[in-house]
Amino acid sequence: MAEKEIRVSHIGVPGNLSVLKLKSYLRTAFANAAQTEKTESEEEILLVKVLVPRPLGLRAGEKLFDKVLQGIVDKDSRVTRVSVEFVDGEVTQQTIDASMARIQKELDEFGHVLHERSEDASRD
């Protein structure tokens, strides 16, 4: 079996959202992040990093993120990992670049584990 491509998508949440609008924003942003040119392709492993301004994240709470993101993940088998990171201030391109650098370092070191896990899942 050929190795699947690992794709990382970042979702930057604006700090001016209300908690009520956060749910729909996450659903829409996640759908956009998951889109590929290959429709419904199983040929990739998708990692999603959600960057949230700390004040909004604290207002929304852990349970909201768990519920909304789990519902989204359950709909897309390509998604292997979703993580939420609270950031100080607004989410900027520099914040996203720094997060991408950390993720790339993790992938360089531990990316083989994702491939092993996806091969195990395909045998089921």
- pLDDT, mean of residues 52-66: 92
| 60 has a pLDDT exceeding 80 | yes
| 1 has a pLDDT exceeding 50 | no
**C-alpha neighbours within 13 Å on the C-beta side of residue 88:** 0
- pLDDT, mean of residues 43-69: 89
Domain boundaries, the chain: 5-33+43-123
Domain 5-33+43-123 falls under CATH 1.10.150? no
Residues in contact with 13: Cβ distance below 8 Å, sequence separation at least 6, in sequence order: 22, 25, 26, 29, 50, 51, 52, 53, 56, 91
| Residue range 95-124, pLDDT digits in tens | 999 999 988 888 888 766 665 655 555 555
